Amino acid sequence: MKYTETQYGDGWLGDIDRQLESLRGIMRAKSAKALLVSQPHNLAWLLGFRVHIGISGNAAVCDLLLKDGGAVILANNIEAPRLRDLLGGALRVAEYPWHQTDARDANVFSMCPEGLLTDSECEPEIAALRRRLTASQKRELERVCEAASTVIEDCCLAVRPGMTDYEIAGMAAKGVYAAGLEPIVLLAACDDNHRRYRHPVPRGDTLNKSLMLSLGARGRGLHASITRFVSFGEPDAGFRKAVGCVHGAAAMLFRETRPGASLPELVNKLAGAYASGGFPGEIENHHQGGIGGFLLRELKATSLSAGTAEEDQVYCWNPSAGGFKSEDTMLVEANGNRFLTKTPRLPLAAESGLPDILIR
């Protein structure tokens, strides 16, 4: 099976044979004769291109049926032409009429009358594979994070008092689409909104003193998460205390999310960091983030989470307190962790070295 950079760029699908063989291992372990992959995040992991129409939908434009003898894409006649062009003959596309609602199931049954396993039935096993990125996927995530970070920088430097949160969100969305990405989550919160609520959606507020801008952007199935703050004038002492506490928590997570680190232990250390920073119990007020990649959060870490951090995993921690949040995308690598959402035009805190409030 041959994949060209012209079709896929950076050899995205160069590892698909190994990925499919790993899925066959799951099939054999479960005594299945075929695996039907239907969930968008699993298809994006395998194929490396957009597999959805609406950005908020949970349905993919195709399925992939995997057997010991090969793999085939199943798609209706609306989507099949585009998929053939994207695949360039690498995988066969079995087409069925869009208006025959049972045609897809009939196709599956004809190819595998018995012993069918679905990806939803073995999601934990697939997730363990999907959460460790290949070299080409890591390169693509770097591009997604760089583009998303540039959008956030541009917006933080361009906003001004008097703009509404809808205008600011629109400015960010324009930049995201111009970069070839999709805005999956976009929060522009002014003043009291980001101090009162952990998910402060735009609501028509006018920017006066401070802004929180949070972005979850997707490109080729991979997600970048980033949050930055702008203040017009010096923040008050209470807010600065929250910034110091959150930076301490985020620095600990960046330092200690290493291969072999227990996720429950990391969460417990995070609770201690909140307490030592003057915000005891803060961990109960919002989720703290966790593993990223082909979902905004593949896993939201808690004290009950199973497993340990692994090399080539993506982490998007988002500790928060007192109206401030630290959120970035980082990659766990053998020689250390690497921030991917860098914003060199915005300030860093002197003590922690983490992104600080832009004061204008």
Checking if the pLDDT of 5 tops 60, the result is no
Confidence (pLDDT) at 2: 29
How sure is the predictor about 17, in pLDDT bands with cuts at 50, 70 and 90? Answer: confident
Q: Mean pLDDT across the stretch 309-324?
A: 98
DSSP-H helix ranges across 257-304? 263-276
Nearest-angstrom CA–CA distance, 7 and 265 = 43
Q: Where in the chain is the domain with CATH 3.90.230.10?
A: 135-359
Checking if the pLDDT of 4 tops 90, the result is no
- Facing residues of 215 across strands? 186, 226
Fold classification of 5-130 (topology level): Creatine Amidinohydrolase; Chain A, domain 1 (3.40.350)
Among residues 260, 244, 262, which one has the least CA distance to residue 319? 244
How sure is the predictor about 178, in pLDDT bands with cuts at 50, 70 and 90? Answer: very high
Q: Mean pLDDT across the stretch 321-345?
A: 97
Q: Where in the chain is the domain with CATH 3.40.350.10?
A: 5-130
Domain 135-359 is of which CATH architecture?
Answer: Alpha-Beta Complex (3.90)
Confidence (pLDDT) at 12: 60
| Residue written as token pair 């995205």 | 12
As a whole-number percent, the residues of the chain with pLDDT over 90 amount to 88
How sure is the predictor about 1, in pLDDT bands with cuts at 50, 70 and 90? Answer: very low
Q: Mean pLDDT across the stretch 166-176?
A: 98
Three-state SS at 177: helix
Mean per-residue pLDDT of the chain: 94
Confidence (pLDDT) at 11: 54
Confidence (pLDDT) at 9: 42
pLDDT of 247-279, one tens digit each? 999 999 999 999 999 999 999 999 999 999 999
pLDDT of 20-30, one tens digit each? 999 999 999 99
pLDDT of 113-127, one tens digit each? 889 999 999 999 999
Q: Are 349 and 248 in contact (CB under 8 A)?
A: no
User: 278 burial class (0-12, 13-18, 19+ CB within 10 angstroms)?
Assistant: middle
Confidence (pLDDT) at 58: 83
